[in-house]
């Protein structure tokens, strides 16, 4: 194995993906340093935060020891609470449905941890995300989907700019999940069969509604449920507890199924309607990050994802300003949700994305 004169900091979590990412880089001859974030948890629930429980920390240390690499824990609890948790709470309080994972990637992983890695003299920063990078002769880096379509995480990486991507590796992006587990067994790592984590880490396995009630009680403000004509059909328990397209749990007796169409924050009204009323053919996305660093000068045909697990939809992106666009879809989409990320693709290339605006046209 040739020794490379370059240091890579790997963001480790005690899971199989980041552990195999570290092992692959060690095998390739890099000087590897493992780092794990210590994130904020509610008091008394530190052992339930899926990203950094004591068990996960112990596993990450065991993996590092097995690989013979240094390991450090980086305490970002206050920054995480200030940036990610506050964004989550403020988003719901303002009537949108935020995606805190994107905030965490941009400002915690590729913010605090990335900068810490640079302070140690690291040339590269790596994670266990399922995505790939293509480095062009011009120096530009393209973000590509992971080989494993079911695990592809380019959606949550669409917020990253060129500067960070130029110094990033995604070692497991070339593999399918079963292959990653097999690699973990080949490397003799103690995480080969560890289950994938689910849900938001700081919810500690709980329901987001309970979390909101504890930390943002103002969202539990009842109001009326109305149809498009303004007729009162019932009462909601707080707009934050409902999502666009939701059918169950409305508590309305009606001869046909009703769905959440809109959240009227100004008047604290939940607007519902029948299935044929669902769907929009356009949206506005703001704070758009173009991964190339250059916004398009004219309209472009794209495939669009409006949620991490959503099916792609074909549409046209129309630039309005460098970081604000209008998207027109070939067919109406049922669950366009303000606050979620709208991500643009052309084939395997992720072009970037922005936040779906409440001010849709």
Residues with catalytic annotation? Answer: 104, 201
CB atoms within 10 A of CB 282: 16
Question: Which of helix, strand or coil describes residue 19?
Answer: helix
Distance separating alpha carbons of residues 294 and 296, to the nearest angstrom? 6
CB atoms within 10 A of CB 50: 21
Residues 6+ away with beta carbon under 8 Å from 173: 129, 130, 131, 132, 133, 144, 146, 147
CB atoms within 10 A of CB 16: 26
| Rounded CA Rg of the chain | 22
Question: Which of helix, strand or coil describes residue 298?
Answer: coil
Residues 6+ away with beta carbon under 8 Å from 253: none
Distance separating alpha carbons of residues 168 and 353, to the nearest angstrom? 19
Residues 6+ away with beta carbon under 8 Å from 65: 71
The token pair at 142 is: 């393209």
Q: Are strands 349-356 and 280-290 parallel, antiparallel or unpaired?
A: antiparallel
Q: Is 71 left (phi over 0), alpha (psi -120 to 50) or beta?
A: beta
What is the DSSP-derived secondary structure letter of residue 171? Answer: G
Sole residue written with tokens 């693709």:
345
């Amino acid at each position: 194995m040739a020794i490379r004169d370059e240091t890579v900091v790997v963001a480790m979590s005690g899971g199989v993906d980041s552990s195999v990412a570290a092992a692959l880089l060690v095998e390739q001859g890099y000087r590897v340093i493992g780092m794990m974030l210590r994130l904020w948890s509610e008091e008394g629930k530190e052992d339930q935060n899926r990203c950094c429980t004591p068990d996960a920390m112990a596993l990450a240390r065991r993996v590092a020891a097995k690989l013979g690499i240094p390991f450090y824990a980086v305490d970002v609890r206050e920054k995480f609470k200030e940036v990610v948790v506050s964004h989550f709470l403020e988003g719901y309080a303002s009537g949108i449905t935020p995606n805190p994972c994107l905030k965490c990637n941009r400002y915690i992983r590729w913010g605090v941890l990335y900068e810490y890695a640079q302070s140690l003299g690291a040339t590269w920063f790596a994670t266990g995300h399922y995505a790939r990078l293509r480095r062009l002769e011009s120096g530009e880096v393209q973000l590509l989907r992971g080989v494993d379509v079911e695990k592809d995480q380019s959606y949550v990486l669409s917020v990253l700019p060129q500067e960070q991507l130029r110094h990033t590796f995604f070692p497991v992006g070339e593999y399918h999940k079963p292959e990653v587990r097999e690699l973990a067994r080949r490397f003799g790592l103690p995480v080969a069969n560890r289950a994938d984590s689910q849900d938001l880490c700081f919810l500690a396995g709980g329901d987001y509604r309970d979390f909101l009630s504890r930390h943002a009680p103002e969202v539990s403000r009842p109001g009326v449920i109305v149809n498009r004509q303004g007729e009162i059909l019932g009462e909601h328990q707080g707009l934050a507890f409902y999502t666009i397209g939701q059918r169950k749990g409305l508590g309305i007796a009606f001869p046909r199924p009703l769905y959440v169409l809109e959240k009227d924050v100004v008047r604290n009204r939940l607007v519902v309607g029948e299935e044929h009323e669902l769907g929009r053919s356009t949206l506005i996305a703001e704070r758009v990050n173009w991964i190339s660093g250059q916004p398009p000068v004219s309209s472009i045909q794209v495939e669009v994802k409006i949620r991490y697990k959503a099916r792609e939809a074909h549409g046209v992106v129309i630039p309005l300003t460098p970081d604000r666009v209008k998207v027109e879809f070939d067919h109406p989409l049922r669950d366009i949700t303000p606050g979620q990320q709208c991500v643009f693709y052309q084939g395997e290339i992720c072009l970037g994305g922005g936040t779906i605006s409440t001010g849709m046209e």
